[in-house]
Amino acid sequence: MKTLLSLLKYIIGMIAALILHIGAAYVLPYPYAYVNALFAILILFLLLSENGAVVWMAFCALFIVELYATSAPFGAHLFAGTISMLLGYWLYQYMLTNRSWYSGIALTVMVLAMYRLLYSAVILARQMFGSAAALPWPQLAASFAWELALTSFVVGIASLIFFKSGFTRPARRRGVFSL
């Protein structure tokens, strides 16, 4: 019963994160609409809980995003996002050992850079081997830079607030995909 309630809590949290992500993209003005609220929430969850379930949460949330995304081939967001969150989890567990707000910013920069590099590789492969139209790479690079800067800022401020407010993290788990 405890596992079922924990799973239900994660599902409700993912739905709320998706609603916030989609709502922020449509409601916020020009530069602030580039905040990737979904990755910000996932990275904050990783920073605060140090739980490998964040990889599965990213997979499920990005699968739902894939169902509604029309601008990219199916699987581009799912592949890039899940792999980047998995690598980000491993980086956070084994390389970024300092549990502070600036390690959260560094983790956000690395995860979003991996996400956008993998996403661009999938789009580029589709252009090379398919009949996709050429993308405006300078505008894409500018939007990626805005996304990286603003999402890192949001995660930095939020993690600073959490860590300075006396938030205590649960005991550190070593399982990669433990709930």
Average pLDDT of every residue of the chain? 86
43 with 156: CB under 8 angstroms? Answer: no
Check residues 137 and 44 and name the one with the higher pLDDT: 44
pLDDT of residue 168: 63
Residue 133 CA to residue 91 CA, distance in Å, equals 35
pLDDT of residue 69: 78
* Mean pLDDT, residues 80-90: 96
7 with 179: CB under 8 angstroms? Answer: yes
* Mean pLDDT, residues 145-151: 95
> Comparing C-alpha atoms, which of 18, 148, 173, 164 is closest to residue 92?
173
> Comparing C-alpha atoms, which of 9, 88, 94 is closest to residue 44?
88
Residue 90 CA to residue 67 CA, distance in Å, equals 27
pLDDT of residue 85: 96
* Other Cβ atoms within 10 Å of 41 Cβ, number: 23
At residue 171 the predicted structure's pLDDT band, cuts being 50, 70 and 90, is: low
At residue 73 the predicted structure's pLDDT band, cuts being 50, 70 and 90, is: confident
pLDDT of residue 172: 56
